[in-house]
Amino acid sequence: MFEIDSHWLVPRSAPLVWTEVAPDGMAAMVLDQAAPPVDSFEALERIGAWEKVIAWAQARQFAEIAQFVAAAEAAPAAGLTAAQAVESAQAEVGMMLRLSPGGTAWRVGEARQLVEEFPDTFASLATGAITLPKARIIAEACTDLDPVAAAAVEQKVLPRAPQQITGQLRAALRRAVLRADSEAVARRRERKRRERAVVLYPERDGMATLSATLAAAEAVGVFAVLDQHARGCGSADERPMAARRADALVDLVLRETGFCSTAAATACSADGLTGDESSAPSAPGSDRLPGLAPEGGVPTVTNKVSIQIRVTVPLDTLRGVSEEPGELAGYGPIPADHARQLAADPDSVWRRLVTDPLSGALLDYGTTRYRPPPHLTEHVIARHQYCQGPGCRVPANRCDLDHNVPFDPVAGEGPTSAANLGPKCRPHHRLKGMPGWSVSQYPDGSILWTTPSGHTYRVEPPPLTEPRTPKEATSTGADEPPPF
């Protein structure tokens, strides 16, 4: 079998060759392709051994991350505060690992917490006794405890943690935490309340998941409202209840909803629904869900939307002669028929942007003054789609519009133009001005970041639509107007 002893994996049998890959003597197992097949016992031992190797590697990376950031904090570069030095070092870690700013903050925070605050848990991870998920569970459970109580809980649960599954470990931690500090649960609840959030996750096939983390009572209340709307649609509505709730959410947020005409209310009443339980059933083939209507058909909910959602559509797709996908800002590619549908929507929510089918370039123009006019702002936001920070996914419309080459009318440098403007989220905007960081601008709108360590990262504006050759793009005539 395999055992980790003083950072060495000890092989049970011969069909493994060893290659030393780590400075402290840790070795990686490499399967000998010519070795005879192993029995099931041996195969399972290998699976278990690899789990220990994975835990060791994760621990080593955490140690390196914690050391790198702590060193920057202890000796800030000239002109930086300790907090700025941490921010700069953290950004370098994120760029190296290709992580988003949020993902980087999570990884660095987790590494420092385990290494600095839970040394025994970290040591168990480093020897492969426990996995990273178990280490995370221990650290999370002890977050709201004072150091003495946290150490007591850690010592209480660690001996049995290697043999437990994660559910058993969580149960043991709940008991240990309550014994150590009965007020910890209340503090955790308050901390979790402050972490409430709504997050968008793109999915396949033109769909997305909108996740809301709310206080339990509020979440139940929101669901109850959606459920009431869904159940008030009448038995003639063939949509599943879950789909009705989803449509109700969209209507309540994006549409002027809640209107139910007197005739529709009468139809609802004929179906056995009255008062606040009634609403108009959806028209056949319609995705629109009217809201609930009280007696008399008076609207109950009216949400006027002042935002705009950008839908980018190639010109020939818009004309219906191509099936090239469109682009929905903040989500990604969408099918051509969906893009045409959104572009033709009469509601003011959707902002249509048309691109050249050959180059994928936005059909727009620029100017030269300090504050960009609306059309140039829209051009830059639509072109870049996201923050210009390496790997950053903050939507461009939520970023600062930054001059990559600083605006200097006296020296005639840093023009306010499409070639020099780029969106940057506030953290990356601050990062750009820190000592040791620099940004170089290219005429095509891409930029090159240089970090204090000397690493470079080039960020190019993504094509709004996939560039095509003249043969692939169908010509429809320059004088033919779009259909919408």
Q: Is 434 exposed, middle or buried (0-12, 13-18, 19+ CB in 10 A)?
A: middle
Residue 205: CB atoms within 10 A of its CB come to 6
From first to last of its 484 residues, the chain has per-residue pLDDT tens of 344 444 444 444 434 444 434 444 444 444 444 456 677 888 888 889 999 999 999 999 999 999 999 999 999 988 899 999 999 999 999 999 999 888 899 999 999 999 999 999 999 999 999 999 999 999 998 888 889 999 999 999 999 999 999 988 988 898 888 888 877 777 777 888 888 999 888 888 788 899 999 887 788 788 888 988 888 887 788 888 899 999 889 888 877 544 433 333 333 333 333 333 333 333 333 443 333 333 333 334 444 444 566 777 887 787 788 888 888 776 777 888 888 887 776 554 566 666 666 656 554 333 445 677 777 788 788 888 889 999 888 889 889 888 888 887 777 777 777 777 889 999 999 999 899 999 988 877 788 999 999 999 999 887 766 556 555 545 444 444 444 3
Domain boundaries, the chain: 4-194, 200-277, 309-355, 374-459
Q: Beta strand pairing status for 456-459 and 447-450? A: antiparallel
Task: Provide the residue count of the chain.
Answer: 484
- pTM (2 decimals)? 0.61
State how far the alpha carbon of 479 is from the alpha carbons of 4, 357, 426, 475, in Å: 74, 16, 44, 11
